[in-house]
Amino acid sequence: MNGEEALLHADTGVTSGKFAERSLNEIRFWSRIMKEHSLFLRLGFRAEDTLLINEANQFYRLFENIEQTSRSFTEQSDPEQIRRFNTEVQQAAANIFGFKRKVLGLILTCKLPGANNFPLLVDHTSREANYFRKRLGELNEGKLKPLPEAIIKENVFFLRIMADHAKFIGHLLDPSERKLVDIARNFSNDFDQLMYQARDLESMKPQSQTVPLLDQFLDQNRVSVSSLRDFKKTARDLIEQCKIKSIIHPLLADHVFREADRFLEIIDMFDAHLTSHSPQSSQ
Ligand SMILES: [Fe+2]
Ligand SMILES: [Fe+2]
């Protein structure tokens, strides 16, 4: 098998330990994220939106329970039990996706005047819920890692997420923090560019799926994601120490930092796959 064939060969080998490990890793990461989204949505509702507030609180508890349950499983747990748990969590992710889209509809039809959730933020969190839901489906189908065929698609998804984060930070900083607002805008432009570049590569598929092109693509993305992650870390620390003016919740700053870190892990996972399947490494 040459490098490219190997690259296109799906890595679907399912060993029960790996299956449990990957499932628990995704669930632990994303259920915390979903729990925090419920909190951010709740904070953005108006005091009179009690039904929406209750619904958000229910999702908070649901994902907190899921997070706790995931801690009671280990890599040695019965794969059948993990499979059932994945299905259950997948339903929860589908439900919070529905809730977020409903809230988006209310905002866009001006039913929540004065509420503080940006439509793009609500849409963004719904895309993350949908990603989580799909990952759980893939895991139950035996696809343990995001597939190599999906390198470009996965990057398009995460680059857009990163571009959104830069936009949220820029808009939630106090306008008087001119320097930081500028930096955030530059990141937003940088990631918009990278996202369009990724989409260009996507439209050139399957011819564009060569090891050298994908390798360069990942390297370029890694450089920008690392510096965005460092910026988010700095912002988080400054916010925690009350050194800058903003309406960014400290947990939101940490949340977007963790998502950048997750993207970097995924880039490294893909890169390791490319390296192990490149023609040089098999000589
Ligand atoms: Fe998020
Ligand atoms: Fe996000």
Looking at residue 176, what is its pLDDT?
98
177 backbone dihedrals φ, ψ, rounded to 5°: -85, 65
In order of start, what are the domains of the chain with their CATH numbers? 15-144 (1.20.1260.120), 145-283 (1.20.1260.120)
Looking at residue 276, what is its pLDDT?
84
pTM of the entire structure?
Answer: 0.92
For residue 280, the CA-to-ligand 2 centroid distance in Å is: 37
For residue 210, the CA-to-ligand 1 centroid distance in Å is: 31
**283 pLDDT above the threshold of 80:** no
For residue 231, the CA-to-ligand 2 centroid distance in Å is: 15
For residue 128, the CA-to-ligand 1 centroid distance in Å is: 6
Cβ(143)–Cβ(182) under 8 Å? no
Instruction: Give 246's strand partners.
Output: 173
Q: Helical H runs in 75-177?
A: 79-108, 119-140, 151-172
Enter the tokens of residue 59.
């999702």
For residue 30, the CA-to-ligand 1 centroid distance in Å is: 8
Q: What is the pLDDT of residues 127-136, one digit of tens each?
A: 999 999 999 9
Residue where the block lists tokens 């996202």: 195
Q: How far apart are the first and last CA of the chain?
A: 12
For residue 144, the CA-to-ligand 2 centroid distance in Å is: 22
Q: How far does CA 71 lie from the centroid of its chain?
A: 21
Burial of 11 from C-beta contacts in 10 A (0-12 / 13-18 / 19+)? middle
**196 pLDDT above the threshold of 70:** yes
Enter the tokens of residue 177.
């923090």
How confident is the prediction for the chain on average, in pLDDT? 92
For residue 264, the CA-to-ligand 2 centroid distance in Å is: 14
Q: Which residues contact 258 (CB under 8 A, 6 or more apart)?
A: 29, 33
**10 pLDDT above the threshold of 50:** no
**146 pLDDT above the threshold of 90:** no
Other CB atoms within 10 A of residue 74 CB: 11
CA–CA distance from 107 to each of 51, 98, 176, 249 (Å)?
15, 14, 27, 21
Q: Give ion ligand 1 contacts, CB < 5 A.
A: 33, 128
Q: What is the pLDDT of residues 219-230, one digit of tens each?
A: 999 999 999 999
Ligand having the closest approach to the CA of 132: 1
Ligand having the closest approach to the CA of 164: 2
For residue 256, the CA-to-ligand 1 centroid distance in Å is: 6
Residue 116 to residue 44: CA distance in whole angstroms: 4
